[in-house]
Each structure stands twice: as C-alpha cells, then as structure tokens.
Chains A and B, each alone.
Chain A
Amino acid sequence: MNGTAPMETPATPAPAVLEGRELTKSFWMRQARGPLARKARVHAVEAVTVRLEAGKVTALVGESGAGKTTIARMLAKIVKPDAGEVLLDGAPAPKGRPRSYAAKVQMVFQDPFASLNPVHRVRHQLVRPLKIHHVADGDVDQAAEELLRRVALEPAAHFLNKFPYELSGGQRQRVAIARALAVRPRVLLADEPVSMLDVSIRLGVLNLLADLRDREQLAILYVTHDIASARYLADTIVVMYAGQLVEAAPSESLTDHAAHPYTQLLLSAAPDPEREETPRLAGRGAPPSLLAPPSGCRFHPRCPHAMDICQRQVPPSFAVSPDHIAACWLHAGSAERGAGDNGLFRPVANHSINPKHLESIKR
C-alpha cells in the first residue's frame, strides 16, 4: 500500500457485465398529509459504484435502510438514478426500460409469496417471458419445463399446472428464479432471495445461485443483510452503510480482515456460535436518519475511531490491499497522513485509534 492518491477501483478490473457507476438516488417523502405538506428529501444512495462480473457473485451487504435494494432496483432500471450511470458491457445502458435490456438483466425479489401473481399458474409465469422475448417460439411448454428442471423442480410437468399457493416458499422462489432465467439473461439481481425462506431450505437456493454462476457464467448481485451467507455465496462483498459504500473486497478477505469499523461492527454483531467469548460490540447506536444524514462519513457518530476529518469530509475509497477498498480515513495512504500534520487527523476527544486495530489493518 504505497499509493500516492486514493484508488477508485481495485487494480486490473476484469470487464464488468453490468456496472452501476456513482449511483445516487434520493426519494421525496411527505412530512404530513395535505397539499401544503412539506416534502423532505431522503438521501437513500450516495455515489455508490458496483461492478458485476460474469461468473461472479457480488454481495451487497448492509442493514435495512442502507440502500441495497435501491441499488438493485436502479440496476434493474425499475428506479431511475438521480445521478450516475448504469453501464451494460461497458456502454451506457439504453434509456427507459427496453426489452433488449430486460433480456440481459433480470431480477429475483425478496418475497416469493408476493413476486408470483397469485391468480396465474406456474405455466403462465414462465411462458410470458418466453413469449415476450421470443426465446422459444416453438414449444413454449417444453421450454418452461426445461426451466423448471434447471432450478431443480421435478417433475417439471407437474409443477407447470400448479398455482403459487400450492407451492412451498422454497419452491416459489425457485419458480421466481426460473422466470428470471427464461430470457437467458447475463445478469441476475437477487434482492434478499432467501430471507423470507425457512432456514433449512435457504442453502438450497443459495447453492442453486452458485450453480448458475458456475455453469452459466451468470453475473449475480446478491443483496442481503446476512454477512455470513454473503461470505458463503459471494466472490466479492460490498458493504453499505446509510446509503454509502463503506468497504468492498473479496469475501474472505473482507470477513477475515475487515478494514472499516462498520464492517467490524457488523461482524461482531452477527450470530456466531463458534465464538470463544461473548462478543463486544464495536460501536453502538442505530443508523442515522437519511433525511439529514451526518456530515462527512455517515458512520462517524457511532465510530469508536472517529477523528476530526471524519465529520468534515466524505472519505474516498482507499485501497487497503490490491483488491480491498475501504472508505475510511483510517486507511488514508501514508502520503495523506504526512499531510495530516495540519491537524486533520487529530482524533476527536474521548476517542483514540485503537493501536491493536491499526495493527490488524497493517497485516
């Protein structure tokens, strides 16, 4: 780590199939009812860059309200970003939501009980995308059965005639994935695909996603609040906090050597029966209101290592190691730290940088 300037992206990036670059989105929320009600701006996502590569699963991890789903929806073009752009194969994605885009980028939703239309049979749910995109102009039923087989729903012909309410949660989610696969997409955006499922069947769905990644070289975005499942499935983990990206790294590197204090907090709070001793939470409190987010780094009010600069300036992404970035002033390169004599890096009162923590960063 001897960079002279903060690095924006990891070194030698592989070509991304889908990239959201500097995506920013805010929503307007009515403060009260009535025509004179003031509207307040909710800063949901601030300049977040996400890259999805073929044959890789990228996990987007964060607490509720962190902006994960908004990013997935911006990438699916259901939500229009205020700023930033979506790049498909390196070129700006077409405007609006044309079918050509739908043919390449598909989405799986969180709640399998809500994402399948209750009044239609499984056949309808699968055949529609096949017909819209002229994927199987001949025998659509056969193509639909083939899709069900790909998501391990057998006997496929039997499932085609079922209504969603006749299926279990896991089976529904498989149908939802089959529907997304119908158009032979290159990117699958999976928004919390297992959080509504029973514990014992979650791994089955995660393994299916892993299988699709390996066999069909899909680029998958896995949105989750469960960092352990992200570690299990994903090749890369991106951690978000209050609408900002805080850390991104290969999944093992991120969970084993978390560089950002927020990631460390998340890890310390996650249930972990194998932990030797009772965990000490690395920072308390709750995520901030996005109506008036804290200045600078949005995590600074909770951060045990907060410094002066943290509340003044949004930290850029610093490279902790070649493919590990953290948006945290603690990791400002040595060049910046030299410049820090002007007082920028003096710790805030009552807080000091834990030397042990710095040790762990240097490793």
Chain B
Amino acid sequence: MTIAPASLTEVAPTGGPGAVAFHRTRILHLPRSPKVIAGLVILGLFGVVAVIGRWAAPYSPNATDEKNWVRHVLVDGTGPGTAFPANYYPLPLPPSAAHWLGTTVFAQDALSQVLASTQATLFVGLLAAAIATVLSILFGVTAGYVGGGTDEGLSLVANVFLAIPGLPLLIVLADYVPSAGSSILLVAAIIAVTTWAYSARTLRAQTLSLRNRDFVEAARVSGESRLRIILVEVLPNLVPIVAASFLFTTLSAIGAYVAIAFLGLAGSPTSSPPGLWNWGEMLREGFANNAVRGGWWWWWAPPGIAVAMLGTGLALLNFGIDEFINPRLRAGGLSRKAARKAGISTSTRLGLTPVAHSIRNAPEPASKVDSANAAEPVLEIRGLCVDYGVGDEAVHAVMDCDLVLRRGQVLGLAGESGSGKTTLALSAIRLLRPPGVITAGQVLFHSRPISGDGPTGTIDLLAAGQQQLREVRWSEIAVVLQSALDSLNPVITIGAQFDDLLRVHRPHFSEAERWSRAGELLEMVGMNADRLRSYPHELSGGMRQRAMIAMAIALEPQVIILDEPTTALDVVTQREILEELIGLRDRIGFATLFITHDLSLLVELADEIAVMYAGRLMERAPAASLFHAPRLPYTHGLLHCFPPLHGARVSMEGIPGSPPDLRDLPSGCAFHPRCRWAMQQCREERPRLLPIDGSSREVACWLHRGDAVVPAELARPEPAAKGLVLAEAVKQAGDL
C-alpha cells in the first residue's frame, strides 16, 4: 500500500456532507419546497401568538368564570346519607361560544391559557437553544480547530454530558436549584446545560474537516490570526449546521421545558412566587385534576397539540436546512408532475434513465452501410439528446449525437468537463440517473454474444424494458468508471464479488470453477490470484481499477465503456493498465468506448476519435488523421494544449476563454467565442457534423463548408495510412 502524504495531512479528506455542499450557494439558501414553507408558516403563527397572545386572549388565564361555573359533581361517598359533608367536584365547561376551548375545572378559559402559555414556552425554548448553541460553538469549534490536548479535554467534557441521561439530570438540577421554579432564565440555563453536548460534537466534527481545507490553509499561509480564521473563515461555513442544531435544540428544549413543568419543577402560576403559564403547566393541572379520565379533551389536548405543531414546524424547517446541507436529498431527480407534463415516463425504476414518450415509437431507420468503414457496428447511437431536468429549466447536456462503435474497435470520446461525454455514454445504456432524461434519439445494440447465452439480434436500448436491459448489461455491455473504489463493494472481498457475478450469469459453474475463473481473470489483468481474498480498501488505486476491469471482462462482453478509467492513477500505472486492456481487447475482441479528457492519450490508444464540445460532437476522424491533420479549430487548439516531451521548448497558447456554460450557450457554433478563425456565419448559424469531401471523417465547422478559406493549420495533409492499417487489422481481428 502506498500512502499519499497529501491525504495524511487532511484528517477527513472527504469532509462531512456539510463540508462539500457550499460551492454552489451562499451561506444559507433554503430551498423553496412546500415543506419549508409549511414550516415557516407554522413557526410564524406561533411567533405571532407568542408576541401578542397574552393580550389577544379573551380572558386572563387566571381569571375564574364565576358566572358560568355552576356545574359540580358530588364526589362519591360524600354528602347526604354519608358520614361526610357534601364535597363537590368541579366540572369544567365544554367548548362554547363564550369559551371556544371550554374551561378548566377552575373555570379558567383554556384558550386563553394556551395563548398565554405560548410566550413562556417559546421564550424558554429559544433562550435555552441560544445558550446551548453558544456553548456548543465555543466547545465544538475550539476543540475541532485547536485539536490536540484541547480537543481531547473539551471532547471529554462533551462526552460526559452526552453520557449522562438528560431528563434525570434536568429533573435533579431543576429540583436542586432553589429558585428555579420562579425564574425562567434559570430554567432555560438548566435546559441548555443538558442539551448542548450533542451539537458540540457535530460542530467539532465539521470544524475538523474544515480545518484542513485549502481555504483555511490559505488563510494561514497569508498570516491571518487564529481567532479571525475561526470567526471569519470557518464559522460562516458552519452556519447551516449551526442553524440546524439550533432548531433541533429549540425543539428538545421545548420538550424539556414542558416535561419539567409537567413534573411541577418549573414553577406554577399558583405557587409563590408565581411562575409563568406554559403548556407543561397546563398539562400538569389537567392531569392532576383527572382531565384525561374525565374525558375533558379541550383541556389537555390543545397544549399537547401545540407542542406537536411547534415541533412539526421546527422539524419541517430543519428538513429544508438538511436539503441545503446535503443536496442529494433534494427530490431524488425529477418531479413526477413536471415530468408527466413533459411527456416523460417516470414509471421506470431505479437505475434506468427515463425516456421521453415521444420517441418511444420512432420508426427504425434502415441501417446505413458505410462502405469506407465496413466493420460491423455493435453499438449505434443516433441523434441522441439528453437533458437534465424538464421544461424550461432543462439543461441540454447532449444534443443530437451520432456515434457508431464497431466490433473490436477502440472509439475515443474526448472532451473537457461538462462537454457531455459521460452523459452521452451513460445514457446510451440508460445508466444515467434522473434528472437526466433522454429526449430524442435511438440506441441500437447489435448483439452477437462472444460467449454465454446472451440475446442475439438488434435491441433498441431506449425502448427496452427492465428485463431486456438486465440481460444486456454487464454480460454484453460492461462499464468501468473513474473511481473503482466507488464501484466495488467495500465490505466483501474481491473474490466474493466475482463469485456473485458468476453465480448469476454462469449458473452452471460450480463454486470451485467460479473461484478458479475469478483467479484466471485477475491474472489476465496482471494481478495475483491471491488478491481474491483482499478487500477493496487493501488494494492500491491501480489494483482496484484492474480488478474492476477484470470484472468487466468476466462475462466476455461485446462492449466495454471506460469512463476516464485511468485519470486518477499515476502515469506508469495508467500505461500498464492500458497495455493490458489492449491485450485483452485483442484476445477477447470486445469493442471499447474510451472516454477521457486526455486527447494525447487517446491518440496513442484509439482507432477513431470523436471530439465533443458543449454537448455536441464536433469532429470525428481516425486517430492518426485527427492528430496529424485536425480539421476543427477546437481539436487543433486542444492538441496544442499538451506540451511535447521532445524538441525545442516553444511558447504555447492553449485555447483562450473557458468552456461555455450549458445553461447559456453562445449563439451559432458554441466554440466561436474562443475560435481564432470565427467568421460572421459562425456567430449566427450552427454548423452540422458532416463529412468532408472525399473522406470518411466528419467535422462541424463552417470553415470547411462552401467557399470559406481553410486556414493552413486546418488543411494539413492526411497522414500516411499507418493508423488506418492498424484500424483495419483490428477490424479483421474483430471479425474473426
């Protein structure tokens, strides 16, 4: 195992969920979901009642309605005929016009009590939460940022508080502190002391991950003082978490206040000195006077409901913050309503890219026979369009792309980040997750299994059902992604993962056969068969990627899609893996769609290269032609972005500007703002991908249309047929 020192200095390189989410938004930007709005409305109502409730109440909460208080019940065993004097049991009044929520047994108006109680309850909740939040920031952020012994000490204190059961401690404290009953400030302080520790731990963990983030390090390198780093650089990034924990603490503080008031420890309005009305007190009086057994719901239910409603409001708002902190929680992709309106079937299950209805019944055009490039196509993508989202907000990530992958061929798909290359490949086999939606096009898989009992014949992958896709995926079309660590199951061994795969797809294999086949596969990618007993985390990045490739070839698929398979690896490992891959291709004969941003690598590896820019295919040519004689200005620029390893060192310019934003594409040709040969036409009209006269290569550029003058850089002669010969040889190998 090798260790990257960079990752060692970063205690939590992945960060918490909170640490990663902020690059898109400001400090706290709540999503406008119905949940959040409902939460805000509820909290707003309680806020208004808390402020004006005492004065808006129809009666004083202590006032007794002497006039109506006439209903009494004789207590059993007292009064006439018994040895005891008559003892009357007061009966509360049910809801009426005078008392909307009836009265208590003391003929006090229940509604007035609920309204008057809101203030103290909310006040104690918010004050306790504020104190607890300040405590948790002090402890958590200090512990997390300073680290070392301070961290251990402060964490110990927090852990002790966490370990003590909260409510008993609260009861003991509230009972022990003599004047607790009369002072809500003291009550709030006691609640805060018992609730801060949980948030402190969360904040400590977040600070720990922020502490070693580059921007904090940059502030340190620029000589910023420690206090300023904490206050100005770290703390604003914690705002969503502080807000979430504040709401959570408010909720638990209200719960705690109601609980101790219910136990009679928070002071009663009737005691001396008098406490304040609160919902816990209402419940206590109700329960003490048989409100539940007497069926006098109007007395005990309203305060209970109020607590529940307030809790709901706080929780709903917290959902909103949660969604902000962790965007993955947001509506798992497409909203059903919006999708249906746009004619997209969302009935499909997980792991199946939705397809717009309109293209379901598209007639199948006759397969073009391309005489220049006669190897049999295995995967044909025609006019594929993919959006993210639907309706007006849809981002067109892939537009009108045609791509033909032939048997045994390595087809390179090059482009910068955001150019749509991964979207194109993943949606073609419908692995793209919603909100990705295929809006047009056709993907034909001409299946002719190399081994096993896969389906034969042409399958329209966009029209295929779950079952049909399952037959094709992995066994006929396999995918290797950039991060093998995310693709391998971390909790079972490599061998067990092979075993699972082979058990499903090669049911006639015995266990021993499966194991030996798995070992064979590992050896094919240059690994020792012993590695079957390893867990993914025990392997280096290169080994994991090799294991992934071994798994991809395990069922001898016809197509392997490789999405930046070596980008995260070192150059030496990269070359070893590519060599092995080419060797396997020659042996098994699968076709490869190789996606990468590294055009210089593709030139060495691919037979044919397609270049994508801003969601469209812009040039397609045999690798050698593309390298020696690019026709597209973008390709030309991209090729001059890789400094050479030989020859004189000359200044290179790269491509000016930066890749466009897909939500706001330039008019005409998307590349024109960065193109040094841009003409008026390029700004107005979008060029289509069309063949250049007399060759099989295609380019989408006005410079090669009509009577435009082609710059010398884009008119270099086609190279000698070396590359083509190679492609030819490969095709023959594939045909065999």
Contacts and interface: CB of A to CB of B under 8 A. Distances in A.
Interface stretch (A66-74, A139-147, A346-354): A66-74
Interface string B575-611: 1100100000000000000000111110110000000
Contact of A128 (B222, B571, B598, B627): B222
Most central of B24, B222, B603, B649 by chain A CB within 10 Å: B222
B392 interface: no
B217 interface: yes
B90 to A, nearest CB: 60
11 contacts: A42-B8, A78-B217, A97-B221, A107-B221, A128-B222, A198-B417, A199-B638, A207-B653, A256-B646, A268-B575, A273-B642
Nearest to B543: A286
Interface in B33-58: none
Interface of A: 25, 27, 29, 42, 44-45, 63-65, 67, 69-70, 73, 76, 78-79, 97-99, 102-103, 105-107, 109-111, 113-120, 128-129, 132-133, 163-165, 168-171, 176, 179, 182-183, 198-204, 207, 225, 227-229, 231-232, 242, 251-252, 255-256, 265-275, 279, 281, 283-284, 286-291
Given A199-B597, A204-B654, A290-B2, 11 more contacts: A65-B2, A76-B221, A102-B222, A117-B233, A179-B218, A198-B658, A227-B571, A229-B643, A267-B645, A273-B604, A273-B627
Nearest to A242: B2
A177 to B, nearest CB: 11
A257 to B, nearest CB: 12
A270 B571 contact: yes
B528 interface: no
Contacts of B237: 117-119
Contacts of A268: 575
Q: Which of A113, A119, A163 has the most CB of B within 10 A?
A: A119
Interface in B542-578: 542-543, 570-576
Contacts of B642: 199, 228, 271, 273
Contacts, number: 227
Given A228-B645, A231-B643, A270-B571, A198 B5 contact: no
A286 B6 contact: no
B215 A281 contact: no
A45 B215 CA distance: 25
Nearest to B542: A286
A273 B637 CA distance: 15
| The 6 nearest A-B residue pairs measured at CB | A203-B654, A232-B643, A102-B223, A115-B214, A273-B603, A99-B223
Contacts of B236: 117, 119-120
B6 A70 contact: yes
B23 A64 contact: no
Contact of A291 (B3, B542, B571): B3
A119 B21 CA distance: 11
B1 interface: yes
A42 B222 contact: no
B655 interface: yes
A100 to B, nearest CB: 9
A119 B574 contact: no
A119 B644 contact: no
Contacts of B1: 289, 291
A279 to B, nearest CB: 7
Contact of B641 (A129, A199, A287): A199
Interface of B: 1-6, 8-9, 22-27, 213-224, 232-233, 236-237, 239, 416-417, 540, 542-543, 570-576, 579, 597-601, 603-604, 627, 637-638, 641-646, 649, 651-656, 658-659, 674
B642 to A, nearest CB: 7
Most interface-central of A73, A79, A288 (chain B CB within 10 A): A73
Nearest to B572: A269
Contacts of A110: 214
A72 to B, nearest CB: 10
Contacts of B219: 117, 128
Contacts of B217: 78, 107, 109, 115
B395 to A, nearest CB: 16
Given A109-B217, A115-B218, A165-B23, A269 B571 contact: yes
B645 A272 contact: yes
B2 A203 contact: no
A106 B221 contact: yes
A18 to B, nearest CB: 14
B638 A113 contact: no
Contact of B540 (A202, A251, A279, A286): A286
A168 B658 CA distance: 7
A103 to B, nearest CB: 7
Contacts of A202: 641, 654
Contact of A200 (B218, B233, B627, B655): B655
A273 B627 CA distance: 8
A111 B218 CA distance: 12
Given A42-B8, A132-B224, A203-B652, A225 B570 contact: yes
A273 B2 CA distance: 30
Contacts of A266: 571-572
Contacts of A231: 643, 645, 649
B644 A288 contact: no
B135 to A, nearest CB: 23
A207 B416 contact: no
B653 A129 contact: no
Contacts of A229: 643
Nearest to A227: B645
A270 B571 CA distance: 6
Nearest to A282: B572
Contacts of B598: 199, 271
A200 B613 CA distance: 11
Given A110-B214, A119-B236, A274 B644 contact: yes
A116 B233 CA distance: 10
B221 A207 contact: no
Contacts of B216: 117
Given A163-B26, A281-B576, A179 B222 contact: yes
Contact of B646 (A45, A271, A274): A274
Given A252-B649, A291-B1, A200 B659 contact: yes
A284 B576 contact: yes
A27 B3 CA distance: 10
A65 B3 contact: yes
B214 to A, nearest CB: 4
A228 B576 contact: no
A286 B658 contact: no
B133 to A, nearest CB: 19
A103 B223 CA distance: 8
Contacts of A251: 649
Which residue of A132, A203, A231 has the most chain B CB atoms within 10 A of its CB atom?
Answer: A203
Nearest to B661: A168
Interface centre among A45, A176, A269 (most CB of B within 10 A): A269
B222 A132 contact: yes
Contacts of A283: 572
Nearest to B637: A200
Contact of B416 (A97, A163, A200, A228): A200
A229 B232 CA distance: 36
A176 B599 CA distance: 27
Contacts of B637: 200
A165 B25 contact: yes
A345 B601 CA distance: 39
A272 B642 CA distance: 9
A289 B239 CA distance: 40
A265 B574 CA distance: 12
B643 A281 contact: no
Contact of B5 (A44, A275, A279): A44
Contacts of B4: 64-65
A110 B217 CA distance: 12
Contacts of B654: 200-204, 207
B23 A113 contact: yes
Interface centre among A64, A171, A271 (most CB of B within 10 A): A271
A132 B223 contact: yes
